[in-house]
Amino acid sequence: MRDLKDIIEQFDRFSTVLIASKTPENSEGVVEILLEAGINVVGPVSRAKHALTLAAHSPIDLALVTDELAGERNGAELARSLADTWGVRTIPLPAA
């Protein structure tokens, strides 16, 4: 979790983070760290299509995404879609 704290400090100010992971329940520690830092959390979600729907309705500043997601798209495809459509920066989130 130290890596996540480094990420929070490294990036410019952001207020809302989307989390996408095949096993969202494994993201509880990440959610806790973000909330303690005063950052809004959207998700976690397990499918790229759900992440894209949330991004369409929420001002996402950053996405934390695992390589493997449930459904047809993987994390790299989701990251490309988030960047191309909404300019959202994505950081790989290690699978738990």
Amino acid at 46: S
Rounded to two decimals, what is the model's pTM?
0.86
**Close Cβ partners of 10 (under 8 Å, ≥ 6 residues apart):** none
Domain boundaries, the chain: 2-92
Per-residue pLDDT of the chain (96 residues; tens, 9 = 90+): 556 666 666 655 668 999 999 987 878 888 988 888 888 999 999 999 999 999 999 999 999 999 999 999 999 999 999 999 999 999 988 665
Structure token digits, residue 93: 């989130």
CATH number among 3.30.1330.90, 1.10.1740.10, 1.10.340.30, 3.40.50.2300, domain 2-92: 3.40.50.2300
Give the chain as a 3 state SS string: CHHHHHHHHHCCCCCEEEEECCCHHHHHHHHHHHHHCCCEEEEEECEHHHHHHHHHHCCCCEEEECCCCECCCCHHHHHHHHHHHHCCEEEECCCC
Amino acid at 2: R
